[in-house]
Structure 1
Amino acid sequence: MTSFTVRRLDPDDAAALVQVAQHETDFTGEPPSPPLTPDAAHAYLSDPGVWHWHAEDAGGNPVGFLMAYVHRRRHGEPLDVMFEEIGVRRSWRRRGVGRALVDALHAQMREQGIGSVWVAVDGEEARAFYEACGYELDELQGVILSRDVQTDTPA
C-alpha cells in the first residue's frame, strides 16, 4: 500500500489549496473551482476557526483534504464543529485516506475540548462513509437555501 501523511495546513500553504482547486473533479466530482488569491488563501488558513487538512503522498502532492469550521454557539456547549467537506482522489479511495482525515479532525476536537461535530450529507455513498466513521442520523433538517447579496438591487 502506498503511504501518505496527514497534516493541517498553515498560512503558508496557499499552493496546496490551488492544487486541490485545479483538480476538484478528481477529489469531489465537482467542476474545478477558481482558487483563492494568495492573500485570501493566507487569510483563510490563518483563521483559527478554519481547520483544513491535507493527506499527501510521499512527494507532497495532495491525495485528500478535509475542511471544517469551529462554530460559537449561543447556548449549550460553547463550541461545535461543522464538518464542511472532504475529498479524496479517485485513485486513492478505499485506502484509509478519508478515515485518516476524519481521525485528524476528531483528534483536533479532543485537543480543543470540543465534543460535538455535525455534517450535512448529500448522497448515499457519503452517508455510508460517515456512518462507517461513527456518525449517526441526528435529526432531519430543512432545505438549504442560499442568496447572493452582492447582486441584490437596493429597493
Structure 2
Amino acid sequence: MPLFTIRRLGPGDEAALAGLSADETDFTGEDPTPPLPPDAARAYLSDPLLWHWHAEDDHGQPVGFLMAYVHRRRHGEALDVMFEEIGVRESWRRFGVGRALVAALHEQMRAGGIRGVWVAADNEDAQAFYLACGYEVDELQGVILSRCV
C-alpha cells in the first residue's frame, strides 16, 4: 500500500491549492478550472469555517483532497458541516485515501463538538463511497436548485 499523510491546509498553502486546479481532471474527472487569485486563495485558506485537507505522498505531492464548510444554524445544534467536495488521484484510488480524508473530517468534527454532517452525492459511485463510510440516504432532502446573478 502506498504511503500518504493527511494535513489540513492553511495560510501559506496557496500554491498547493492552485496545484489542484491544474490537475482537476485527475482528481475529480471534471475539466480544469482557473486557480483562485492570490488574495482569494489566502482568504479561502484563512477562513476558520472552511476546512480543506490534502492527502500527500512521501514527496509532499497531493494525492487527494477534501473540502467542507462549517455552518452556523438558527435552531437545534449550533453547528453542522456541509461536506462539499472530495477528490483522489485516479492512480491512488482504492488505497484508503478517500476514507482517510473522511476520517480526518470526522475527527475535526468531534474535536469541535459538531455532530451533524451532510453531503450531496451526484452519482452512484459517490453514493456507494459515502454509504461505505457510514452515511445514510436522507429522504427528507429536496432538489438542489441554483442561480447565478
Shift of 1:46: 0.3
4+ runs of 1 displaced by more than 4 Å?
Answer: none
For these two proteins, the number of residue pairs brought into alignment is 149
1:19-30 superposed matches below 5 A: 19-30=19-30
SS in 2 for 1:136: coil
For 2:113, the equivalent position in structure 1 comes to 113
Shift of 1:141: 2.6
For 1:92, the equivalent position in structure 2 comes to 92
Runs of 5+ consecutive residues of structure 1 not aligned to the other structure: 150-155
For 2:18, the equivalent position in structure 1 comes to 18
Give the percent of matched residue pairs that are identical in Structure 1 and Structure 2: 75
Q: Equivalents in 1 of 2:60, 2:112: separation in Å?
A: 27
1:2-151 superposed matches below 5 A: 2-149=2-149
Runs of 5+ consecutive residues of structure 2 not aligned to the other structure: none
Q: 1:116 corresponds to which letter in structure 2?
A: G
SS in 2 for 1:53: strand
Q: Equivalents in 1 of 2:59, 2:16: separation in Å?
A: 13
Q: Equivalents in 2 of 1:83, 1:142: separation in Å?
A: 17
For 1:153, the equivalent position in structure 2 comes to none
Q: 1:10 corresponds to which letter in structure 2?
A: G
SS in 2 for 1:68: strand
TM-score (norm 2): 0.98
TM-score (norm 1): 0.94
